Amino acid sequence: MVFEITLERMLVFFLILAVGFAAAKLRVIDEGYLPSLAKLITKILLPVMIFYSTCVSCTRQALFDNLAMVVLAAVFYALASLVLFLLARALRLPHDKDRVFQFCFIFGNTGFVGIPLLAAVFPETGLMYMMLVSIVDQLVFWTYGVWLATARDRQATRFSPRALVTPNTVAIALALVFVLADIPLSRLASLALGTINNATSALCMMYLGALVCFSDVGAALRRPELYVGIAVKMVALPVAAGRLLALTPLPGDLVSALVIIMALPVMTVVPLVASQNGHEGEYATGITVATLVASIATIPLAVLLAG
């Protein structure tokens, strides 16, 4: 059942992504507008989706019952980091491509793909699972992730706790307060936030479709490590984890949600961080777009094989 829903949602996302691609081709969406659109999505729409969906679908007891997801997320990031480090060494990638390769494949696109997908596949618990994973995700991304993105010939970026304060983390914190304190949303607030929530998935996919249109992925497609990364991180690891966790008493929905999260394509913000901190922004962009297109097939495949 989860496979059928996941496959259906990925096909729907692909069709909406195609609309965004066509809009970019026809210059309805200009390339110069993409940064503003991305800012709107990441700073307003996705935080609203996280806050609203968590408040209306999550209870205090459900939150406590699923805290295992935080531990599983920490294990996943540790395992993925180790596997990608070993892969980069085995593939003998040049400096600084070795680090950026790891940076790309460790961090999945929880925002533009993961949040809308989990909300669709698991309407009652999907955003709660993502919220719990994001507690670990944001901490690892803005520390170890930024270190990986920093070129060796540049002074190491000094970590600032302020980097952890993002619209998504603020939305997560507020949602936790509302759930733990059992504060209900007013009817007007619920209607307003719900309306914004309903528009988020489509805008995310249209943005990604435009991104595909304006990106040159040819160089990335000629890199063999791209296919190794997709096969290992987006298929093999999620499948192995899903099959192992299926032997435990953990809820089936939680296991399936983790499989989807592990199989996500590269996080959209990765090329930006790689460009700001090093010399491999173009390389990261190619991998990001290629994995996004591949995920239309690999996410349903991982769910099917892990089931």
Q: Does domain 2-306 have CATH number 1.20.1530.20?
A: yes
pLDDT at residue number 71: 93
Q: How far apart are CA 274 and CA 99, in angstroms?
A: 10
Domains in the chain: boundaries? 2-306
What DSSP letter does each residue of 162-178 carry, written as one string?
A: GGG--HHHHHHHHHHHH
- Confirm if 116 and 204 have CB atoms less than 8 A apart: yes
Burial of 240 (0-12, 13-18, 19+ CB in 10 A): middle
β-pair partners for 108: 266
Instruction: List, in order, residues 6 or more apart from 179 with CB less than 8 Å away.
Output: 54, 55, 58, 59, 60, 63
pLDDT for 11 = 92
Give the Cα separation of 150 and 132 in Å (integer): 27
CB 100 within 8 A of CB 254: no
**What pLDDT, on a 0 to 100 scale, did the predictor assign at position 49?**
87
Interior angle at CA 185, CA 109 and CA 136, nearest 5: 30
**Which pLDDT value is given to residue 216?**
81
Contact 57, 128 (CB under 8 A): yes
User: Number of C-alpha atoms within 13 angstroms, CB side, residue 69?
Assistant: 29
Name residues whose C-beta falls within 8 Å of residue 126's C-beta, 6 or more positions apart in sequence.
53, 117, 118, 119, 120, 257
Task: Evaluate if pTM is beyond 0.75.
Answer: yes
Q: How far is CA 206 from the centre of its chain?
A: 16
H or E, element range at 25: helix 2-25
pLDDT tens across the length of the chain (307 residues): 788 989 998 999 999 999 999 999 999 999 999 889 888 988 899 899 889 988 887 888 988 988 899 999 999 999 999 999 999 999 999 888 999 999 999 999 988 899 889 988 998 888 889 888 988 888 898 889 988 988 877 655 555 677 678 888 899 889 989 999 999 999 999 999 999 988 888 898 898 899 889 888 888 889 999 999 999 999 999 999 999 999 999 999 999 999 999 999 999 889 878 887 888 888 998 999 999 999 999 999 999 999 7
